Structure 1
Amino acid sequence: MSVRNERTGHDGARGLGRRGRRIALWATAGTVSLAVLAGGLLYYRLNGNLSTFGGDGVSRDRPPAAGADAEGRTPVNLLLIGSDTRSGGNQDLGGGEDGGARSDTAILLHVYADHRHAVGVSLPRDSLVEIPPCLLPDKTWTPDRPSAMFNSAFSVGDTEQGNPACTQNTVEKLTGLRIDHTLVIDFQGFADMTTAVGGVDVCLPRAVYEGDLDPHLGQRGKELFKQGHQSVSGQAALDYVRIRHGLGDGSDIGRTKRQQAFLAALIRQVKAQGMDPTTLLPLADAATKALTVDEGLGSASKLVDFAMSLKDVDLHDVKFLTVPWRYQGERVALVHPDADQLWAALRSDRTLDGQDASASASASAPASAEPVSAASAGPAAVDGAGIRVAVHNGTDTAGLATRAARALEDSGFTVTDRADAASRTHRGTLVEYGSGEKAAAEKVAALFPGATLQPGDRAGITLTLGADYADTADPTTAPPAPAGPLPTSVSQARSADQDACADLTYG
């Protein structure tokens, strides 16, 4: 029975109902406001966690940015650097006793334009590469170092934070790929990330002991990891990816294989929990406390947006491999032309099985019957396998040697040197060759219409670029990589859905 309010004339139950609805509306609004405020505070906290490095140390001579496909999509190249800096709490987790920072791990992640394929390429830390000029803390630039260990680029300047811009410059010089974002994570951040996801499933071919992690221990010590599958997090996860001795030949190459298996398992774990902000934010909270990123990725929202852009990548289409390599004494040399073909494929956004990931529906349309003129066809297709070329820029136009080297490598040539010529006033492009090398030099000249062939007084082939090449070369495009599968050293990559116990050692 309802009670009528004599003063207002309203039915009591109806009034109570209206008040109840108003209270519910205000309560809902308050809850939403609190949720928005909490979300804002969380992002504010994450942003406060992040450290960034400035762009002043990034090279002025960079590869061109990747072009968009017919649907406006572009591939993304992200450089992931694992740092063993001794600052903060990292020394307690396994950092060395000396100062400075070194890069124990470097992976170039290429996300294809379709955002349904991705490839992570590990770069061995002992690889001998060219380290281009890099910025020092006193704002001077180092000289070019033509044959240096790859991981020494991160140590240039000898600071606790390392030099991610120098590593980025080195990778761009090596690959001809423009790095869109660089991300550095240290020991503490890595350990916290694995704890945030509840542990990661890993595997080992045999039991591992304290002496395997620390060969100076002088004894086997206690068992750290059992043989087979197990879940690791925190310090144990860090120990797993750093184990080198006692497995295979004890090399960094074998450790790289286990790091790839670990990242594959981490991706599986995150995708299994759901790729949404609810699950990603706790992971971001853990990571950002020890993360250094470029300014273009310097906010929590950008990090989460990038992670969300990968949600449609199938585990089978996430691949991991190590750039083709061979031992050179105690160091590692990259194998050519296999490595060159890998970089050319990524520049052309071709998957490891030779498919074009940038292709859209329009790409399958019938080809036009209209003939193509010789002038618009560009340089003829050339097979440069086994031919070594030094490239010199004979003009004042920056970036020509890098551009020409990329064109040569895309056609299978091996580029032995990229430098400025003694004279910077060459009008025409010149191809010089040694005794018996004319046929090979003609193949080089075929890629550079109008180039002059000239016998030289030294062995080898040298391409000197003139103003004619500077006037005609298009800095935004590169020749497509050859169609079809890549060499076995490249195409036999690890998939993220592969069994965690497979392919974990070398030697």
Structure 2
Amino acid sequence: MSRARRSAAVRQPGPASPGALPRTRREARIRARSRHRRRAWTKAGIVGALVLVVGGGSLAYAFYDKLDGNITTADVTSSLGDDRPADSPAGALNIALIGSDSRDGTNGRYGKGLTTHNSDTLMVLHLSADRQWATVVSLPRDSWVDIPGCDLGGGKTSKPTRGKINSAFAVGSSGGGGVTSGAACSIKTVESNTGLRIDHFMEIDFSGFKEVVNALGGVEMCLPKAVKDTKASLDLPAGCQKLNGEQALGYARARYSLGDGSDIQRIGRQQQLLTAIFATVQKKKLDAPAMYRLADAATKSLTVDTKLGGLSALLGLAQDFQSMPKDNLTFLTVPNYPRSLDVPSDKANVVWKSSAKELFAALRADKPVDKEGRPLVTPGTSRSPDGSAAPQRDSITVTVLNASGTTGKAAETAGKLAGAGFRTAPSGNTAGQRQTVVRYGPGGEPAALAVATALGLDADVVREQSTGAASAVTVVLGTDHSSLGL
């Protein structure tokens, strides 16, 4: 059956959810026998395996139609509207990697009470125009962001709100549009908060993840300490070892038994696992049957946009990855800090640091970044969020206010800034506060970042205020000044 005919034949609306995108027969079969394996946290691993595997020279093209038929497509274009970021530089691509955390069926063993479908994992893969480097940015599911109004179908649009980024998928799919509407709302949310134009998306069911790892013969991981997590069905000794599919799955899921139990640290472990999978595929000399098993497992797990849809486009991605210089794939997490620093009662969520603007500005301009998300620049030069040179220090006027309660700290800091080439206004005292911040007026972020850098402060302390000149910056010293090197 041709691809067009398959879509027409099996994607008919079901009576239970008018307007929803119906399942393909493949989806129904997979979900019926393996719902318990549908978690999103390691979905990018299947993308990695796919793009590296299906491009292998030993892949028999007799299997092309079979693999092509595995892939499900969804059209999100009409739901994104016209108010979108500018196109990526010619040749560069931004691909959203999205997965939901449904607890349907036996998925309930991973947690009860969840009735919505959120994006448990959300990443942006940026491929450079020259295909010499790529960056994968993880967006924590607890990121507190603006969620725009989304198309719910039937002429209805959701109201703009502010909340966790993973709830955007639930908002979009609440009108019955399933993966298509959920993905569209997630994409709109990513675009509005990053300024990146999302060119394609992949929603990846991990039903084939264990098969991918097992077909590779496992993946090597080195664990600093033993891991035992009953929720993830994981019991591993300390040391370097080879994880099979079930163990790799558990390691990607594990959260509360490792580190501080946060999703941020779990993202780091997932990225380590994905790196190991990429490295394993690149190093192994796989025979044709093994290549096919990997590609078959990966393609069965994919839903992609119609523009990317089909094995030929994915083969193109595979070739791009294969031609990329070794070690030029970077994984990172968007710079963030606990929202409790702004809202003490919120202990669960995170806010993106102001340095995230610098990260996304670089990717919008198709410029590489380091593992901290900072644009790679010529040594000795300064950066501003739009990639241009930072303002000269002698053009920036800094006022230092002492909120630390320690006598003389404002004058001492102002003296350091003057010695570093900044202009300084009279210093003084202000109401006490814990955190040191650097404030700036409209258009003044480059100047504020220059001041923060000179003082050895993280970019997350830089905050915008509604008034003031772009060249005027205020440093408010909190009681944490001693720990920040002031």
Question: How does the TM-score come out when normalised to structure 2?
Answer: 0.60
1:67 aligned residue (89, 105, 122): 89
Q: SS at the partner of 1:85?
A: coil
1:347: which partner in 2?
364
Cα 1:40–1:320, aligned 2, differ >3 Å: closer, same or farther? closer
Q: Percent identity?
A: 38
Note if contact 1:85-1:95 (Cα within 8 Å) is conserved in structure 2: no
2:164 aligned residue (149, 158, 167): 149
2:239: which partner in 1?
228
1:322: which partner in 2?
333
| Aligned-pair CA distance for 1:336 | 3.5
1:439 aligned residue (469, 482, 485): 469
Cα 1:241–1:41, aligned 2, differ >3 Å: closer, same or farther? same
Q: Measure the CA separation in 1 of the matches of 2:268 and 2:389.
A: 39
Q: Measure the CA separation in 2 of the matches of 1:409 and 1:193.
A: 49
User: Which structure 2 residues correspond to residues 46-125 of structure 1 after superposition, within 5 A?
Assistant: 46-55=67-76, 56-68=78-90, 74-86=91-103, 91=107, 94=110, 98-125=114-141
The RMSD of aligned alpha carbons is: 3.5
| Aligned-pair CA distance for 1:79 | 1.3
Q: SS at the partner of 2:321?
A: coil
User: Which structure 2 residues correspond to residues 355-504 of structure 1 after superposition, within 5 A?
Assistant: 355=376, 386-387=439-440, 389=442, 437-440=467-470
Cα 1:193–1:250, aligned 2, differ >3 Å: closer, same or farther? same
Note if contact 2:390-2:447 (Cα within 8 Å) is conserved in structure 1: no
Note if 1:302 corresponds to 2:309.
no
Q: Measure the CA separation in 2 of the matches of 1:203 and 1:259.
A: 13
1:181: which partner in 2?
200
Note if contact 1:337-1:413 (Cα within 8 Å) is conserved in structure 2: no
Q: Measure the CA separation in 2 of the matches of 1:307 and 1:277.
A: 16
Note if contact 2:95-2:126 (Cα within 8 Å) is conserved in structure 1: yes
Note if 1:42 corresponds to 2:72.
no
User: Which structure 2 residues correspond to residues 227-246 of structure 1 after superposition, within 5 A?
Assistant: 227-246=238-257
User: What do residues 144-186 of structure 1 show as CA deviations (whole Å, max 9, x unaligned)?
Assistant: 11x2101111222246647111111111111111111111112
Q: Measure the CA separation in 2 of the matches of 1:224 and 1:237.
A: 11
Q: Measure the CA separation in 1 of the matches of 2:439 and 2:227.
A: 43
Note if contact 1:77-1:110 (Cα within 8 Å) is conserved in structure 2: yes
2:284: which partner in 1?
273
Q: SS at the partner of 1:309?
A: helix
Note if contact 1:323-1:334 (Cα within 8 Å) is conserved in structure 2: no
2:191 aligned residue (168, 172, 175): 172
Cα 1:294–1:185, aligned 2, differ >3 Å: closer, same or farther? same
1:213 aligned residue (232, 236, 239): 232
**Number of equivalences:** 332
Note if contact 1:212-1:246 (Cα within 8 Å) is conserved in structure 2: no
Note if 1:198 corresponds to 2:232.
no
Larger Rg: 1
Cα 1:197–1:242, aligned 2, differ >3 Å: closer, same or farther? same
Note if contact 1:80-1:106 (Cα within 8 Å) is conserved in structure 2: yes
Question: How does the TM-score come out when normalised to structure 1?
Answer: 0.58
Q: Measure the CA separation in 2 of the matches of 1:108 and 1:412.
A: 29
Q: Measure the CA separation in 1 of the matches of 2:290 and 2:136.
A: 23
Cα 1:235–1:44, aligned 2, differ >3 Å: closer, same or farther? same
| Aligned-pair CA distance for 1:268 | 0.6
Q: SS at the partner of 1:331?
A: coil
Note if 1:332 corresponds to 2:349.
yes
User: What do residues 390-429 of structure 1 show as CA deviations (whole Å, max 9, x unaligned)?
Assistant: xxxxxxxxxxxxxxxxxx6995789xxxxxxxxxxxxxxx
Listed as ranges, the gaps of 5+ residues in structure 2 are: 1-58, 340-345, 379-387, 397-437, 450-464, 473-486
Q: Measure the CA separation in 2 of the matches of 1:114 and 1:412.
A: 32
Q: Measure the CA separation in 1 of the matches of 2:122 and 2:376.
A: 26
Cα 1:101–1:47, aligned 2, differ >3 Å: closer, same or farther? farther
* Equivalent position amino acid for 1:83 in 2: S
Q: SS at the partner of 1:249?
A: coil
Mean CA deviation greater in 90-99 or 288-297: 90-99
Q: Measure the CA separation in 1 of the matches of 2:252 and 2:217.
A: 17
| Aligned-pair CA distance for 1:337 | 2.2
Listed as ranges, the gaps of 5+ residues in structure 1 are: 1-37, 69-73, 215-222, 358-378, 390-407, 415-432, 444-507
Note if contact 1:54-1:295 (Cα within 8 Å) is conserved in structure 2: yes
